[in-house]
Amino acid sequence: MIRHIFTNSFGILISRILGFIRDLLTASILGANIYSDIFFVAFKLPNLFRRIFAEGAFTQSFIPSYAKTNHKIQFSTILFSQFLIFIIILSLIVTLFSTLITKVIAIGFDTSTIDLAAPLVAICFYYLPLIFIVTFLAALLQYKNHFSTTAFSTSLLNISLITSLLLTANLEKYDIAYYLSWAVIIGGILQVIVHLIAIKKFKIKFLTKSIKKSKNTFKESKFYNQFYLAVFGSSSAHIAAFLDTWLASFLVSGTISYLYYANRVFQLPLALFAIATSIALFPTIAKALKHDNEDKALQILKKSFYILSILLITASLIGIIFNNFIVELLFLRGAFTQIDADNTALILSMYLIGLVPFGISKIFSLWLYSKHQQGKAAKITAISLGWNIVLSLIFIIPFQAAGLAFASTLSGFILLHLTLKEFGYKKFKSRIL
C-alpha cells in the first residue's frame, strides 16, 4: 500500500514539477492578460472533465462494478463503446457551437474576446475523448494494482505544452495560445499511447465482439446510476475552481490568470498527498468492504488520515507563510509583473486555508463510494457548492478574486463537516482518532 502511494506521489511530483515549468514559461511568455485568459478558459472545460474523470467519478464507479461482475471483458466493452461514442458526439457539438459554449463558460467576456477564444475552445475540447481513453485504461491497470503508468503519464502533456511554448515564444501572443491548444491534443495522444503499451504488457483484454449475453448483467450493475452521482459527488473542489473562473470573467483582465496560477500551486500538495493517497487506497478499501472486512478498511483509513493530516497541515503553513516567495520564484519574470505576483500570492493564501478540509474529505469520501453511496456523496457536494455560490456572490464585490478563493475554501470546510457526518462522527472518534 505504501509503495503504491509513493509511486503515485512521485509520479504526480514529476508531473507537477514539469507543470510548474510550463506555468513559469506561460507566465513569462504570455503574462497575465487577455491572451493567457482565453487559453486558460479554452483549457478549463476539458481539464475540468479530466479531473472529474481521472481523479474521481469514473474510477470510483468503475472499479466496484468491474470487481462485482462475472463478465468483465463484456462489461468493459459495453462501457468503453458507449462512453467514447457519446464523448466524440459531444466534442463535435462543441466544435459546431464553440462561440455559444465560450459565452457560457466565460460570460463576462466581450464579443471580440469570445471570437478570439472560441476556436481554442473547439480545439482543446478534443482532449476529452483522449483523456477518457486514458482514464478507462488507467482504471483497468489500477484494478491490477499497477499505478506507475498513469502517475507518470501526465508529464507527457506538460512536455508537449513546454515544447510548444519554446518553439513559438517569438510569435504573436494569440498564435502562441493557438499552438498551445494543439499541444494539448498532442499531449493527450501521447498519454493514450503509453497506456496502450502498459495494457498490452499486462495482457489485459477489454474489448470483445460477444456482448449480447452480458447486456442484462451490465444493466443490473446500475453503473450509470452510480456514475452520474459520483460525477457530482467527487468534483467539489474542481467545480468550485470552475465557478471562480466563470465569475472572474466579470472582473479586470488578468484575474482569471491570477486564479489559475494560484490554483495550480494549491493543486500541487492536494494532488501530491490527498489525490495520490485516495487513488492508491480506493481499490483496497473497495475490495475489503466487498468482503465485509470493515475492520481492515478502517485500519487503512486511520493510518492514511494521520499521515495525510500532517502532510497537508505542513504544506498549508509553508504555503501561507511563504506565499509571496513561492509565487515570485515560480512566475515573476518576463511579462508577469510584481503586481501580478502580489495578486496571485494573496489568492494562493486564500486557497491554501482550505487545503486540509478538501484533502481529508477526499479520503473519507472513499468510504461512501466503496459502499455504493454515491447519492449521499452527491448530496453533500450539492450543499457545499450551494454555499460556495452564495459566499462567492457575497465576497466578490468587496474582495474581488481573493473573495472567490476564500469562498471556495469555506465550502471545503462545509464539505468536510458533511462528509464526516455521513461517515459518522461517533465512528470517526472511536475508530480513527
3-state SS string over 279-335? Answer: HHHHHHHHHHHHCCCHHHHHHHHHHHHHHHHHHHHHHHHHHHHCHHHHHHHHHCCCC
State the pTM of this model: 0.71
Which residues, 6 or more positions from 62, have their beta carbon under 8 angstroms from its beta carbon?
79, 136, 139, 223, 227
Q: Using alpha carbons, select from 66, 72, 16 the residue that is nearest to residue 282.
A: 66
- Cα angle value 146/3/135 (rounded, 5°): 30
- Cα angle value 21/105/395 (rounded, 5°): 85
Q: What is the pLDDT of residue 218?
A: 56
- How far is residue 400 CA from its own chain's centroid? 24
Q: What is the pLDDT of residue 45?
A: 74
How many angstroms separate the CA atoms of 93 and 149, rounded? 32
Helix (H) or strand (E) holding 106: none
* The three grid cell numbers given for residue 395, joined into one nine-digit string: 465576497
Q: What string of H, E and C letters represents the secondary structure of 205-220?
A: CCCCCCCHHHHHHHHH
Burial classification of residue 422, based on how many CB atoms lie within 10 Å of its CB (0-12 exposed, 13-18 middle, 19 or more buried): middle
How many angstroms separate the CA atoms of 63 and 238, rounded? 22
Q: What is the pLDDT of residue 144?
A: 85
Helix (H) or strand (E) holding 344: helix 338-352
Q: By the 8 A CB rule, do 191 and 154 touch?
A: yes
Q: What is the pLDDT of residue 313?
A: 97
Q: By the 8 A CB rule, do 182 and 39 touch?
A: no
Note down pLDDT in tens along the chain; length 433 residues: 566 677 777 887 888 789 888 888 888 888 778 888 888 888 877 777 776 665 566 777 787 778 777 788 888 888 899 889 999 999 999 999 999 999 887 777 888 989 999 999 999 999 989 999 998 999 899 888 888 898 888 899 999 999 999 999 999 999 999 999 999 999 999 999 999 999 999 988 888 776 665 555 555 456 777 777 766 666 666 677 677 777 887 888 788 889 988 988 998 899 888 887 887 787 788 778 877 888 888 998 998 899 999 999 999 999 999 999 999 988 888 878 899 999 999 999 999 999 999 999 989 988 888 787 877 887 888 899 889 989 999 999 899 999 999 999 999 999 999 999 999 999 999 999 8
Query: Amino acid identity, residue 423?
Result: F
Radius of gyration of the chain (CA): 21
Q: Using alpha carbons, select from 81, 58, 55, 211 the residue that is nearest to residue 136.
A: 58
Q: What is the pLDDT of residue 58?
A: 78
Q: What is the pLDDT of residue 236?
A: 62
How many angstroms separate the CA atoms of 403 and 422, rounded? 29
How many angstroms separate the CA atoms of 332 and 335, rounded? 8
Q: What is the pLDDT of residue 1?
A: 59
> How many domains does the chain fold into?
1
Q: What is the pLDDT of residue 129?
A: 92
How many angstroms separate the CA atoms of 427 and 66, rounded? 29
* The three grid cell numbers given for residue 169, joined into one nine-digit string: 515564444
Half-sphere exposure (Cβ direction) of 78: Cα atoms closer than 13 Å: 21
Distances (CA, A) of 285 to 63, 277, 365, 378: 11, 12, 11, 20
Which residues, 6 or more positions from 205, have their beta carbon under 8 angstroms from its beta carbon?
73
Q: By the 8 A CB rule, do 123 and 134 touch?
A: no
Q: By the 8 A CB rule, do 286 and 148 touch?
A: no
How many angstroms separate the CA atoms of 247 and 269, rounded? 25
Q: What is the pLDDT of residue 348?
A: 96
Q: Using alpha carbons, select from 54, 218, 73 the residue that is nearest to residue 139.
A: 54
Find the domain containing 39 and state its range. Answer: 2-432
